[in-house]
Amino acid sequence: MCFCDSRPLRLLSVLLVGIALTGANCPSECNCLEHEVSCQSKNLKNFPQSLPFHIRYLDISRNQIKYLPLIELSYLTDLVYLNCSYNIIEKISRLPFLNVVKLISLDLSHNHLTTISQMTFQTLKSLTMLCSGVGLESTVF
C-alpha cells in the first residue's frame, strides 16, 4: 500500500507544460508567439540568445546588430522567414545558414554589407526571396 501524495508531481507537470507553451526560451527583449519571434526595434547590439529552436519567423530588423553568428542560426532548423534589415551588419560568418535549409525569405537590406562569401547561401536550396540592398560589391548570384 502506497501513501504517496501525487499532487506535487501533477503540479510540476502542469507548470512544465505551461512554461513550454508560453515560450520559456523567449529572450526577454523580444516578443514571442507560438512559432514567431519579433525583436524588431529593441536596440539590440547582438543577435538574440536563447531563441526557441522551433521558430519559423524571426524579425531582428531595426536594431544595431553588426554580425550574424553561425552558432545561433544553426539551431534554427525550422526557420522560414528571417528579417535582418535596417541593422549595421558588416559581416556574415562563412556558413551561417548551414542547418537553416527551410529558409524561404531572407532580408539583409539596409545594412553595411559590402561582400558576401560564395559559401554564404550555398545550403539555402529553398530560398526564393533575398533582399540584399544596395552597396554590395560582390555576390554569388
Residues 50-75 as b/e (b if ≥16 CB within 10 A, e otherwise) read ebbeebbbbbbbbbebebbeeeebee
Confidence at residue 138, expressed as pLDDT on a 0 to 100 scale: 45
pLDDT at 5: 57
Q: Could you tell me the three cell numbers for 72?
A: 545561433
The fold adopted by the segment(s) 27-140 is 3.80.10
pLDDT given for residue 71 in this prediction: 81
Strand pairing partners for 68? 92
Bridge partner list, 55:
none
Q: What is the pLDDT of residue 14?
A: 40
Which distant-in-sequence residues (6+ apart) come within 8 Å of 103 by Cβ? 79, 80, 81, 82, 97, 124, 126, 127
Cell of 114: 559590402
As averages over each run of 10 residues, the pLDDT of the chain (141 residues) reads 52 43 76 97 95 96 94 92 96 84 95 84 91 60 46
Of the candidates 139, 40, 129, the residue with the CA atom closest to the CA atom of residue 84: 40
Task: Identify the pLDDT of residue 141.
Answer: 46
Rounded CA gap, 45 and 48, in Å?
9
Q: Could you tell me the residue ranges of all domains in the chain?
A: 27-140
Q: Are 62 and 83 in contact (CB under 8 A)?
A: no
